[in-house]
């Protein structure tokens, strides 16, 4: 299985949480997160790095300083395929970044600037959070609680002016974060005297703090943040956001989902004005000066959630999966091979082994298991160097259409190849399909002679099959799927073409047609009623 080593700075940081947050969506990869202190890595960290990274296919560096420190220590690291994600806007001017295979920006400013600096490819992957955990609070009520969540408690976060503004307005100030500058924190506590500070705070505790807060504030200096992630957390939880226009705020702000601080971080009067305006608006329909008549905090909460709902770990994982394939096989079109399986592990093994021998390298295999074959697939994962995803679709029914659909949706390839477990592809099968593939064409291969279209050994662009409507899950029994697909394709202008040179050898028997005769009758009747 393709092995990816992710380099982050420290355990518990935002980068570490991002990397570990997407891990559960990388089940088709050998995905390892390595925390490497950028200045003082300990022996245990280095030992684990050496052990894991030496056979990695891809290095996914989420912190540039850790990457370059390691490259100085281990010359072999420079030969690894490497993706570098830029999370520090102030650092992107330090060099040209031409010594990595791909650069990633996590907001539009960073991505655009990278495109002007480097000669290497640049992609945009936005920051994300756990949308399953940071849930909207439907029972939110305005209070006198104002919250700031900072990864590091330091002056660049602009915490002290917000604390002073809250004290002057008699608002309760909740501060959450790790102490980076203890003197700065002490100054906040001594100056204002109204701070509820949480240094060690679980996600569950933090969510409760969001739920009891009326406003979340970000007051960081310019050119310092690429995020912050707490802005997304607050938006998802339904906490109105007051923020300077920093980091990914320009990407998120649509003019209605947050309030922007126009002044400098030290502008206490400006912060007070906006806080008072928001607190006064409350949630009762009172007009907010910034947005005009009829705008209130509840409306802002809804619009903020609607913006943040797409910033999920699952989407980030999907985007990186496509980038891993882009870096690993930059000159080949990415293909996803869907293998629906049911039983007979020995036949499944032959099918999968043939896919591993394909002359086209940029493939992923998605096994949609309508039976119970995880052992066969896990063994297969151990000896191939491409992504392999296992999806169990068993629902005690004829679930072939559903299995193919779920696999197609999960696929990261531009091209889909459907290969049922009985088909043992010749080495050049995918390559031969790709030679003939074009938009709005569904190719089918040679299984021992030309026959009418059957999708069990076929190839089509992923966009085309999705816009086509995928496979018909109303075909709940054997005997109707191919006919329904042929009829629908004709109606929608999808042309089906036979590719004699794309060959597969069927193994075993398809299914017991004598036993399936009654099912065939029922599906033919259903197709008749559908006018097909």
CATH number of the domain residue 68 falls in? 3.40.50.11930
Task: Say whether both 207 and 264 belong to one domain.
Answer: yes
State the pLDDT at residue 511.
Answer: 54
- For the sheet with 363-369, list strands across it: 388-392, 363-369, 335-341, 415-419, 457-461, 441-446, 495-506, 423-425
Residues 87 and 118 in one domain: yes
Domain final position from 89, 124, 159: 124
Q: How many H-runs (helices) and E-runs (strands) does the chain carry?
A: 19, 20
Residues 282 and 381 in one domain: no
* Residue 314 located in a structural domain: no
pLDDT at residue 513 in the model: 58
Please name the residues in contact with 31: beta carbons below 8 A apart, sequence gap of 6 or more: 3, 4, 6, 23
pLDDT for the residue 509: 65
Helix (H), strand (E) at residue 499: strand 495-506
Three-state SS annotation for 108-121: HHHHHHHHHHCCCC
The Cα–Cα gap between 129 and 366 comes to 26
* Same domain assignment for residues 454 and 355: yes
Q: Which residues contact 394 (CB under 8 A, 6 or more apart)?
A: 369, 370, 371, 372
Sheet of strand 30-35: strand arrangement: 30-35, 3-8, 58-61, 81-86, 102-105, 122-124
Cβ atoms of 293 and 287 closer than 8 Å: yes
Are residues 379 and 525 located together in one domain of the fold? yes
Q: What is the largest CA-CA distance in the chain?
A: 86
User: Count of domains in the chain?
Assistant: 3
Query: 275 and 240 in one domain?
Result: yes
**Residues 299 and 216 both lie in one domain:** yes
- Residue 115: inside a domain, yes or no? yes
- What integer pLDDT is reported at residue 44 of this predicted model? 96
- Enter the DSSP assignment of 220: P
From first to last of its 532 residues, what are the pLDDT tens digits of the chain?
999 999 999 898 899 999 999 999 999 999 999 999 999 999 999 999 999 999 999 999 999 999 999 999 999 999 999 999 999 899 999 999 999 999 999 999 999 999 999 999 999 999 999 999 999 999 998 899 999 999 889 999 999 999 999 999 999 999 999 898 999 999 999 988 889 999 988 999 999 999 999 999 999 999 999 989 999 999 999 999 999 999 999 999 999 999 999 999 999 999 999 999 888 865 444 444 444 433 478 889 999 999 999 999 999 999 999 999 999 999 999 999 999 998 889 999 999 999 999 999 999 999 998 888 889 999 999 999 999 999 998 776 668 899 999 999 999 999 999 999 999 999 999 999 999 999 999 999 999 887 888 999 999 999 999 999 999 887 766 667 888 898 889 989 999 999 999 999 998 765 555 667 767 777 777 777 777 6
**Residue 496 resides in a domain:** yes
Q: Which domain holds residue 297?
A: 145-308
Same domain, 304 and 346: no
Q: Pairing mode, if any, of strands 215-218 and 241-244?
A: parallel
Residue 234 lies in a domain: yes
Q: Domain with 454 in it: what CATH number?
A: 3.90.550.10
Q: Which residues face 384 on adjacent strands?
A: none
Per DSSP, the residues of 2-33 read -EEEEEESSTTSHHHHHHHHHGGG-TTSEEEE
Q: Are residues 401 and 493 in the same domain?
A: yes
In a domain, 389, yes or no: yes
Same domain, 165 and 205: yes
pLDDT of residue 390: 95
Domain-embedded: residue 129: no
pLDDT of res. 293: 35
* Residue 225 CB burial class (10 angstroms; 0-12, 13-18, ≥19): buried
CB-based burial label for 395 (10 Å; 0-12, 13-18, 19+): exposed
Give a yes or no: residue 202 inside a domain.
Answer: yes
- Sequence-ordered list of residues with C-beta below 8 angstroms from that of 307, at least 6 positions apart, any chain: 235, 252, 254, 257
The answer to whether residues 335 and 273 belong to one domain is: no
- The pair of structure tokens assigned to 43 is 């022996």
Q: For residue 369, give the H/E element and its range.
A: strand 363-369
Indicate the burial class of 366 (C-beta count within 10 angstroms; 0-12, 13-18, 19 or more).
buried
- What's the pLDDT score for residue 294? 35
Is 413 contained in some domain?
Answer: yes
389 in Cβ contact with 410 (< 8 Å): yes
Asked which of 124, 153, 173 is the last residue of a domain, the reply is: 124
**Alpha carbon separation from 293 to 253, 273, 285, 307, 374 (Å, rounded):** 19, 18, 9, 22, 59
Quick check: bond before 154 cis, omega within 30? no
Q: For residues 243 and 216, what is the distance between their CA atoms, to the nearest angstrom?
A: 8
Q: Which of 277, 308, 339 is the last residue of a domain?
A: 308
Res 193: pLDDT: 80
In terms of domains, do 346 and 233 share one? Answer: no
């Amino acid at each position: 299985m393709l092995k990816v080593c992710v380099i982050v700075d420290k355990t518990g940081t935002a980068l570490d949480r991002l990397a570990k947050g997407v891990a559960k969506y990388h089940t088709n990869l050998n995905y390892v997160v390595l925390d490497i202190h950028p200045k003082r890595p300990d022996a245990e960290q280095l030992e684990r790095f050496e052990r894991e990274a030496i056979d990695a296919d891809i290095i996914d560096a989420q912190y540039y300083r850790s990457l370059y420190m390691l490259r100085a220590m281990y010359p072999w690291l420079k030969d690894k395929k490497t993706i570098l994600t830029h999370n520090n806007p102030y650092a992107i001017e330090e060099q040209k970044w031409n010594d990595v295979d791909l650069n990633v920006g996590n907001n539009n400013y960073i991505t655009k600037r990278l495109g002007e600096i480097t000669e290497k490819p640049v992609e945009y992957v936005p920051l994300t959070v756990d949308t399953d955990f940071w849930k909207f609070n439907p029972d939110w009520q305005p209070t006198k609680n104002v919250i700031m969540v900072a990864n590091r408690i330091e002056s660049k976060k602009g915490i002290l002016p917000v604390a002073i503004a809250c004290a002057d307005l008699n608002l309760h100030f909740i501060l959450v974060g790790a102490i980076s500058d203890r003197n700065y924190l002490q100054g906040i506590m001594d100056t204002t005297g109204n701070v509820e500070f949480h240094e060690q705070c679980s996600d569950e505790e933090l969510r409760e703090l969001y739920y009891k807060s009326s406003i979340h504030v970000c007051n960081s200096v310019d050119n310092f943040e690429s995020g912050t992630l707490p802005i997304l957390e607050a938006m998802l939880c339904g906490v109105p956001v007051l923020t300077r226009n920093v980091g990914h705020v320009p990407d998120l702000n649509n003019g209605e989902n947050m309030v922007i601080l126009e002044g400098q971080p030290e502008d206490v009067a400006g912060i007070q004005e906006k806080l008072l305006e928001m607190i006064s608006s409350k949630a009762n329909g009172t007009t907010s000066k910034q947005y005009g008549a009829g705008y209130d905090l509840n409306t802002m909460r809804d619009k903020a959630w609607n913006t943040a709902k797409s910033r999920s770990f699952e989407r980030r994982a999907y985007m990186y999966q496509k980038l891993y394939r882009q870096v690993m096989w930059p000159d080949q079109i990415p293909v996803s091979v869907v293998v629906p399986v049911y039983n007979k592990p020995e036949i499944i093994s032959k099918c999968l082994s043939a896919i591993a021998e394909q002359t086209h390298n940029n493939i992923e295999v998605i096994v949609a298991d309508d039976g119970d074959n995880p052992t066969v697939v896990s063994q297969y994962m151990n000896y191939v160097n491409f992504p392999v995803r296992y999806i169990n679709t068993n629902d005690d029914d004829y679930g072939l259409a559903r299995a193919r659909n779920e696999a197609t949706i999960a696929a990261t390839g531009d091209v889909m190849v459907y290969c049922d477990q009985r088909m043992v592809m010749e080495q050049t099968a995918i390559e031969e399909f790709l030679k003939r593939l074009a938009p709005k064409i569904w190719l089918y291969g040679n299984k021992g002679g030309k026959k009418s279209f059957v999708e069990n050994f076929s190839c089509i662009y992923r966009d085309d099959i999705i816009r086509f409507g995928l496979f018909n899950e109303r075909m709940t029994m054997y005997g109707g799927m191919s006919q329904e697909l042929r009829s629908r394709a004709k109606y929608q202008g999808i042309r089906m073409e036979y590719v004699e040179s794309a060959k597969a050898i069927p193994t075993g028997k398809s299914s017991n047609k004598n036993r399936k005769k009654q099912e065939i009758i029922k599906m033919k009747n259903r197709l008749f009623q559908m006018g097909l």
